[in-house]
Amino acid sequence: MSGADVEVIEVSKHYGAVAAVDDVSLRLSPGSLTALLGPSGCGKSTTLSLVAGLHHPDSGDVCVDGGSILAVPAERRPVALVVQKPLLFPHLTVAQNVAFGLRMRRVDRRRRGQLVAEMLDRVQLPDLADRRVGELSGGQEQRVALARALVLKPRVLLLDEPFSQLDAGLRVQMRALVRRLHDESDVTTLFVTHDQGEALDVADTIALMLHGRLVGHDEPEAFYRRPPSLAAARFFGVTNELSGWVRGRSFAHRTGLVLPADLPDGAAVLVVRPESIEVVEHGGTETVAGTVIMARFAGTHIAVEVEIEAGETLDVHVPVGQNIAIGSRVHLRLPRHACTMFEAEARA
């Protein structure tokens, strides 16, 4: 059985006056692997628990293959959940833990043994079947937790920061394991993480959540090329923001930089990634002049800070080898296709 088509439709969940999840709509196509990305406290874990059925939304609907599952209790949803804590039952062995869900589903003993052995093979722990769970390392624990979830052949797999307590090297290995397990079973997977590196590494698409709202759901690259909002751009580490003014379909900055824009007239913010800016010989269109105030070798590039106006600087990543002297005058080209503009947020 392959992965399900999952639809979260205009779901909201409030705790007191606070909206933990605010009108979120998200569609996961069958067999996809989506990262639900956002800073801690943005509502991504709550969203997950609404899909798992551990909490009930105040409004909205959750559908699997077109049918609402809101009335289905968590224990009967075709959904498996693995969270940050391994939560292996301490009174059971590794094999008994993996078999737990099968036992709840009244799978007979022989079939159970077979499925558990297969599953332990797939998570590369065939020798630990009879171990007590207290003897496992952190990585092994999460493998068992994954096995315990996947042995049920769920249609939807929900992972809530499953590896955030492991050290960096192990995390990378575990991501690769998740990717492989997903590709083998084609289970529709939603992977909650606050780490954009992890999201880029593991997922086909990224759904970005900020302050309880879904900001965008797109391919990872798109978040870099055209971030859906200023907040999204900031979350993805765009450090360059130029405040300017749009008038008659063109954006003007007080340095004289003018770029075509498709925003209504008014205050606007232009964002551009440091690696998209080029240092060029001569001024021209799409360029702005400035003085190098800092240049630092950063391994794959030279991180340069250029002052284009009193108190306003741009971060630029220059290829290693290019000669940049502190104090020198440079021209920077901001390619239009690499720039994204937003209407400035109204300030109170």
Partner 1 sequence: MRRAFLGLLLAGLLLPVVPLALWAISGTWRYPDLLPSDVTTRGLHLLVDPRTRVLDGLVTSTVIGAAVASLACLIGFPAGRALGLYRFRGRRVVQFLLLAPVIVPGLAVALGIQVFFVRFGLSDTAVGVILVQLMPTVPYAATVFGAAFANLDVDYEQQARTLGAGPVRILLFVTVPLLRPAIVVAALLTFLISWSEYVLTLLVGGGQVKTLPLLLFASISSSDTTAAAALALLVVGPPLLLLIAAAPFLNGRSSAMVGVGRL
Residues that bind partner 1 (CB under 8 A): 52-54, 73-77, 79-81, 83, 85, 87, 89-91, 100-101, 103-105, 148-149, 152
Return the number of other C-beta atoms located less than 10 Å from residue 186's C-beta: 15
Residue 110 contacts by C-beta under 8 Å, 6 or more apart in sequence? Answer: none
| Closer Cβ to partner 1, 87 or 303, answer by number | 87
| Closer Cβ to partner 1, 81 or 125, answer by number | 81
Rounded Cα distance, 214 and 43, in Å: 9
**Smallest distance, Å, CB 76 to partner 1?**
7
Buried b (16+ CB within 10 A) or exposed e, 201-229: bbbebbbbbbebbbbbbbebeebbebbbb
Give the length of the chain.
348
| Closer Cβ to partner 1, 135 or 265, answer by number | 135
Give the end-to-end CA distance of the chain in Å, rounded to a whole number: 53
**Smallest distance, Å, CB 36 to partner 1?**
17
| Closer Cβ to partner 1, 73 or 248, answer by number | 73
| Closer Cβ to partner 1, 104 or 298, answer by number | 104
| Closer Cβ to partner 1, 104 or 326, answer by number | 104
Rounded Cα distance, 53 and 74, in Å: 4
Rounded Cα distance, 133 and 125, in Å: 12
**Smallest distance, Å, CB 104 to partner 1?**
4
**Smallest distance, Å, CB 52 to partner 1?**
6
Are the beta carbons of 88 and 162 closer than 8 angstroms? no
Side-by-side strand order, sheet with 79-82: 79-82, 156-160, 188-193, 33-37, 205-210, 213-218
**Smallest distance, Å, CB 320 to partner 1?**
48
| Closer Cβ to partner 1, 103 or 180, answer by number | 103
**Smallest distance, Å, CB 162 to partner 1?**
12
Distance (Å) of CA 110 to CA 106, 114, 115:
11, 6, 9
**Smallest distance, Å, CB 91 to partner 1?**
4
Rounded Cα distance, 123 and 144, in Å: 8
